[in-house]
């Protein structure tokens, strides 16, 4: 605590349970949620959950801000406010990254670079779209108006008040992913972050206000998913839900949204494949495979947790991978040298470990890791399980921990493709080869929202990201990421 910046220390003393209509306020729910430091298991902070009437107040504030000038604000002014917001994120990135590393144990080197460089760039990118949201003019109505004295055009309008429900991994980036396209479109928001990572959300909302984004455009309610999240997703004052989280909760969101047929976009789980062909440059591919699986201790949706390696290079690949896994620096998230932080909770660690034990019982061969370490914190070592196959749960299910399932393939590419496409997920994936024909054949065959060639999961603001199959509905990032926040109006004129 003593090493924190003064801003962070002050912030931790404040009550940060609600942010409504541009003001912090105290929640009135019954329950208290503790925030735990995953690096040592110690209590950091307690937060009162929002009540239903707190959520009602946030939705009302968002509606009022939407209708009183925000939805009709001119593009130059809107983009200007977003650019100032991006500048403030950059300016406050030290405190924001300290808070993020404290609440969800993201290694500080990663939270600093994500927040300072990536989050600010993402908001700037969407600020650039504001004056390019434009419709079409559409010619021709020959049967209705043969004289052709007829014009049709389309215009985009903001979809309205958005409920954004976000997960605990990379909490600042998760908020920013919603804020970029929502603000650019002219929507207002009620955001519910994961209950276990509430610290950064109000900080970000206050920066938006400081940038000049009107009070009520960004509101934060905190509390548990089953209560606060469920109430918000069923709320008839909400026009759209943008959800990031697990596939199981995504399905509940869809059901909750039916009352007033809210628009829904979903960014859900994944089980991304990483395929190494024998002609790949192994010096690049093997460290990238380790990074793609172990980044954020495997607690990210695009994690490559299935490695497909050709039988002719299997021995060499697993030897290097094992060395990399065993050399990774794990430790306190606030230590700049740390590469791997702990898992988010003891519950998560137990779930990850149970999946590893089950994989070994089913015939998987543990190459390294797979043991719960002694000592405080919820650490779990980078774990490699060889000899896995398509029928095993470890190959089919999301683990959300640093666990890589390794499967060997031969020369039957069709069988490889069938295996790759066998899971319920389709978020990301990558193929590693110098043969462009082989790479492009795999790109066509893999059923996922993103496929990398000699790179895995490009989180670039302009590049669409999202899932096929049960990995989601819709896309975030890029122009495609803007569309779910807009509705199109067709205007027809007889003259
Ligand atoms: P989660 O349990 O699905 O929770 C996500 C959010 O939904 C949290 O804010 C949670 O609140 C809330 N929630 C839970 N139950 C709800 C309900 N019945 N109604 C409304 N909201 C509810 O996911 P998580 O464990 O936080 O995050 C991990 C999952 O997110 C993984 O599956 C991962 O793959 C996925 N993810 C996907 C992406 C992507 O872009 N595709 C990115 C990151 C993560 P509480 O936690 O406060 O209960
Ligand atoms: Mg949860």
pLDDT tens sequence across 191-216 = 999 999 998 999 999 999 999 999 99
Contact, 276 vs 475, CB < 8 A? no
Between the CA of 243 and the centroid of ligand 1 the distance, in Å, is 8
Q: Does any domain span residue 238? A: yes
pLDDT tens sequence across 228-263 = 999 999 999 999 999 999 999 999 999 999 999 999
Asked about 301 being catalytic, the answer comes back as yes
Residues 290 and 190 reside in one and the same domain: no
Residues 55 and 181 reside in one and the same domain: yes
Q: What are phi and psi of 30, to 5 degrees?
A: -80, -35
Catalytic-role residue among 100, 206, 267, 398: 267
Q: Ligand 1, atom 48: nearest CA belongs to which residue? A: 225
Residues 263 and 277 reside in one and the same domain: no
Residues 57 and 91 reside in one and the same domain: yes
Q: Does any domain span residue 210? A: yes
Q: Does any domain span residue 466? A: no
Q: Does any domain span residue 260? A: yes
Between the CA of 5 and the centroid of ligand 2 the distance, in Å, is 29
Q: What is the DSSP letter of 339?
A: S
> Does the beta carbon of 464 sit less than 6 angstroms from any atom of ligand 1?
no
Residues 277 and 260 reside in one and the same domain: no
> Does the beta carbon of 267 sit less than 6 angstroms from any atom of ligand 1?
yes
> If you average pLDDT over residues 71-94, what whole number do you get?
98
Please report, to the nearest 10 degrees, the dihedral formed by the alpha carbons of residues 96, 99, 101, 104 taken in order.
-120
Residues 204 and 250 reside in one and the same domain: yes
Q: Does any domain span residue 203? A: yes
> Does the beta carbon of 252 sit less than 6 angstroms from any atom of ligand 1?
yes
CA distance 180 to 53: 28
Is residue 140 predicted with pLDDT exceeding 60? Answer: yes
Asked about 119 being catalytic, the answer comes back as no
Is residue 1 predicted with pLDDT exceeding 70? Answer: no
Q: Which helix (H) or strand (E) holds 165?
A: strand 161-165
Is residue 16 predicted with pLDDT exceeding 70? Answer: no
In terms of residue numbers, what domain contains 392? 273-460
Residues 29 and 131 reside in one and the same domain: yes
Residue whose tokens read 């021709």: 140
Catalytic-role residue among 104, 301, 398, 476: 301
Residue of 197, 245, 301 to mutate, ligand 1, most atoms within 8 A of C-beta: 245
Q: Ligand 1, atom 8: nearest CA belongs to which residue? A: 194
Residues 421 and 479 reside in one and the same domain: no
Between the CA of 195 and the centroid of ligand 2 the distance, in Å, is 8
Residues 148 and 15 reside in one and the same domain: yes
Residues 327 and 356 reside in one and the same domain: yes
The pLDDT value given to residue 453: 98
Range with the poorest average pLDDT among 48-52, 196-200, 225-229, 381-385: 196-200
Four-residue CA torsion sign, 366, 368, 373, 379: negative
pLDDT tens sequence across 416-448 = 999 999 999 999 999 999 999 999 999 999 999
pLDDT tens sequence across 263-291 = 999 999 999 999 999 999 999 999 999 99
Residues 177 and 279 reside in one and the same domain: no
Which residues have C-beta within 8 Å of that of residue 235, sequence separation ≥ 6?
Answer: 55, 56, 59, 163
Q: What is the CATH number of the domain that holds 30?
A: 3.40.605.10
Ligand 1 atom with the smallest distance to the CA of 223 is 47
Q: Does any domain span residue 63? A: yes
Q: What is the CATH number of the domain that holds 442?
A: 3.40.309.10
Q: What is this structure's pTM?
A: 0.97
Q: Does any domain span residue 467? A: no
Q: Does any domain span residue 465? A: no
Our count of domains for the chain comes to: 2
Residues 364 and 387 reside in one and the same domain: yes
């Amino acid at each position: 605590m003593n090493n924190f910046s003064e801003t962070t220390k002050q912030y931790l003393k404040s009550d940060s349970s609600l942010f409504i209509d541009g003001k912090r306020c105290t929640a009135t729910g019954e329950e208290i949620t503790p925030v735990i430091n995953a690096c040592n298991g110690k209590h950091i902070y307690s937060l009162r959950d929002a009540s239903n009437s707190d959520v009602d107040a946030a939705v009302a504030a968002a509606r009022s801000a939407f209708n009183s000038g925000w939805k009709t604000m001119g593009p130059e002014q809107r983009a200007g406010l977003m650019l100032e917001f991006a500048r403030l994120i950059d300016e406050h990135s030290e405190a924001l990254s300290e808070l993020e590393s404290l609440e969800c144990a993201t290694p500080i080197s990663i939270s600093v670079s994500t927040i300072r460089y990536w989050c600010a760039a993402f908001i700037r990118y969407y600020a650039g779209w504001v004056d390019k949201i434009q419709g079409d003019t559409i010619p021709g109505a020959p049967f209705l108006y043969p004289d052709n004295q007829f014009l049709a055009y389309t215009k985009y309008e903001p979809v309205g008040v958005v409920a954004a429900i976000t997960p605990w991994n990379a909490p600042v980036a998760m908020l920013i992913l919603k804020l970029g396209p929502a603000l650019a479109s002219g929507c207002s928001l009620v955001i519910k972050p994961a209950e276990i990572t509430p610290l950064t959300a109000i900080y970000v909302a206050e920066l938006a206000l400081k940038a000049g984004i009107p009070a009520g455009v960004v509101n934060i309610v905190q509390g548990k998913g089953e209560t606060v999240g469920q109430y918000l997703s069923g709320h008839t004052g909400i026009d759209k839900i943008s959800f990031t989280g697990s596939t199981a909760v995504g399905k509940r969101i869809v059901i909750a949204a039916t009352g007033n047929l809210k628009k829904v976009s979903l960014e859900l789980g994944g089980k991304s494949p990483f395929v190494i062909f024998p002609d790949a440059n192994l010096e690049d591919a093997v460290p990238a495979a380790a990074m793609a699986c172990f980044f954020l201790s495997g607690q990210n949706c695009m994690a490559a947790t299935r490695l497909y390696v050709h039988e002719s290079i299997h021995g060499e690949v697993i030897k290097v991978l094992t060395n990399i896994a065993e050399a990774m620096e794990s430790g306190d998230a606030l230590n700049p040298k740390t590469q791997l932080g702990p898992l988010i909770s003891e519950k998560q660690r137990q779930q990850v470990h149970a999946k590893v034990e089950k994989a070994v019982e089913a015939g998987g061969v543990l190459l390294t890791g797979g043991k719960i370490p002694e000592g405080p914190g919820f650490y779990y070592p980078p774990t490699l399980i060889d000899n896995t196959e398509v029928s095993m749960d470890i190959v089919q299910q999301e683990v959300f921990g640093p666990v890589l399932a390794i499967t060997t393939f031969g020369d039957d590419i069709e069988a490889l493709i069938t295996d790759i496409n066998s899971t319920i997920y389709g978020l990301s994936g990558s193929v590693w080869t110098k043969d462009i024909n082989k790479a492009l054949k795999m790109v066509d065959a893999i059923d996922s929202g993103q496929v990398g060639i000699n790179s895995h999961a490009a989180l670039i603001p302009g590049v669409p990201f999202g899932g096929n199959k049960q990995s989601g509905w819709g896309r975030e990032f890029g122009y495609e990421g803007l569309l779910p926040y807009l509705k199109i109006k067709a205007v027809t004129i007889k003259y």
